[in-house]
Amino acid sequence: MKNTLNKYIVFIFFLLLISNLQLTAQDISDSSESKKVVATGTGSIFDNNIAKARDDAIEDALRRALEQTLGTMIEAETFVENYQVIDDNIFSETKGYIQNYQVVREQKRNDYLYEVMVTAMVSMENLQNDLEAIATLMRRKNMPRMMVMIDEKNIGKSVGLLNYIEAETNNAETAIIDEMMEKGFTFIDQSIVKQNLTREKAAAILQGNTEMAAALGKKIGAEVVLTGKALANATEVEVYGTKQRSQQATVNVKAIRTDTGEIIAIASADGAYPHINDMVGGAKAINKACVKLSDELVEKILSRWQKDVSSGTMVTLRVQGLDDYSQLSKFKSSLQYYVRGINSVVQRQWSAGYADLDVNFKGTGEDLAQRLSGKSFEGMTVKVVGLSQNQVSVEVSVD
């Protein structure tokens, strides 16, 4: 009787296990499917610029395609300054991405609005492995360019000698560029990077000076700088009574947005390679680490960019010309009402008529600049005096 009961329990457990595996497989299948959806978006026409309005309408349609297909995750964030609550912000983050899309209908609705209808393929699969979707995302981000600077050291023992040698090489830079270019990322020529470097500036950047790295990248036209350290070191290990040389490498890299100095991704990885020649083994160990690191870096950067295009980009708005804080408060509160696409405005700095505002905006810095240029509201007129991909400088005159 006891054996029969045990067999029955095992049989029930087996059925439950099979059922659970089937449900899991179904969930994976469902989550990995792509869905075709039709969505309509609109763009505002400024100064009769139809091309720009069309681009804005397409972006609006793609965001709507994501939202109606996958829904959104709503998050609330309370900003606190000097221990006082200064603002409550609610924002949405769409989970998923656009694989590809096609414009099926477009028209000028009136003198101020352009309308576009698209069919889009929406997916929940891993964006990192979808080259077509990466290319689409790159276009939506205006094809960002990247720059690489890695402080690399390969330390080992000279063959046949007792002294140790240390070599400064660029294996890490080459490996990272090769891996990320296969995914569709574009890079500034390394020779241009070197031409714009002084020894002091290079040393500062390689020691972790984020501000200087961002300034250099901005100067030579890179929107993102990858900078960090790579170190290979040789050790001797005993395997089954035999001593063998093994080279271990560690690589750490951070991705910096050049216009704001913001760190958008951090990645690290280790690699090992056994070789009788420490320099050769160290180079190969660094290369292995960079292959792993590049995968992590690509995933994090793409995730950040996807969030930017679907939920809004943080654009730094630098404001000058406001005489007192009451004018600044009036300007901040008016922005969301009069400027389409602004989700939230947070003040970061105010001093002597100058203010830095973090604006969560559905679009690029150029989009925001165009919507602000010449804008008049609440007795204030805005003039755009500076622009980069994610930073806009304006001068406000008060009537």
Collect all residues with Cβ–Cβ distance below 8 Å to 41 and sequence separation of at least 6: 56, 57, 58, 59, 60, 61, 62, 63, 64, 115, 116, 118
Mean pLDDT of 36-40: 91
DSSP-H helix ranges across the chain = 2-32, 50-70, 131-140, 171-181, 190-195, 199-206, 210-219, 278-311, 325-338, 365-372
Phi, psi dihedral angles at 344 (to 5 degrees): -160, 155
Distance in angstroms (rounded) separating the CA atoms of residues 190 and 267: 21
pTM (2 d.p.): 0.70
Question: Could you tell me if residue 175 is inside a domain?
Answer: yes
Mean pLDDT over residues 95-117, rounded? 88
Which tokens in the block code for residue 77? 């964030």
| Domain match, 275 and 187 both | yes
Indicate whether 24 belongs to any domain: yes
**3-class secondary-structure state, position 240:** coil
Residue 279 sits in the same domain as residue 344: no
Same domain, 158 and 304: yes
Mean of the per-residue pLDDT values for the chain?
A: 80
Q: pLDDT at position 204, please?
A: 81
Cα diameter, the chain: 95
Q: What is the pLDDT of residue 25?
A: 37
Residues 153 and 79 reside in one and the same domain: no
- For residues 275 and 247, the answer to whether their CB atoms sit within 8 Å is yes
* Contact status, residue 201 vs residue 213, Cβ threshold 8 Å: no
Model confidence at 40, pLDDT cuts 50, 70, 90, reads very high
Residue linked to tokens 């559905």: 362
Please tell me the predicted confidence (pLDDT) of residue 164. 54
Task: State the Cα–Cα distance between residues 64 and 38, nearest whole angstrom.
Answer: 9
pLDDT computed for residue 238 by the predictor: 66
What pairs with residue 245 in β-bridges?
A: 236
- The span from the CA of 393 to the CA of 386, in Å, is 5
160 and 250, same domain (yes or no):
yes
Structural domain includes residue 349: yes
Phi, then psi, of 268 in degrees rounded to 5: -145, 155
Least confident of 28-42, 84-98, 251-265, 311-325: 84-98
Q: At 277, which CATH number?
A: 3.40.50.10070
* DSSP H or E segment with residue 37: strand 35-44
Share of the chain above pLDDT 90, in %: 26
pLDDT score, position 159? 53
| Per-residue pLDDT at 83 exceeds 70 | no
Give φ, ψ of 391 to 5 degrees. -145, 130
Residue 131 domain flag: no
Contact 258, 224 (CB under 8 A): yes
Do the strands 376-377 and 391-398 form a parallel or antiparallel pair, or are they unpaired? unpaired
Count of helix runs (H) and strand runs (E) in the chain: 10, 17
Q: What is the domain range of residue 241?
A: 145-308
The one-character DSSP state at 276 is: S
Q: Tell me, yes or no, whether 133 lies in a domain.
A: no
> Do both 216 and 283 map to the same domain?
yes
The total of structural domains in the chain comes to: 4
> Which pLDDT band holds residue 237 (cuts at 50, 70, 90)?
low
Query: Do residue 209 and residue 319 come from a single domain?
Result: no
Helix-helix angle 199-206:210-219, to 10 degrees = 130
Are residues 282 and 219 located together in one domain of the fold?
yes
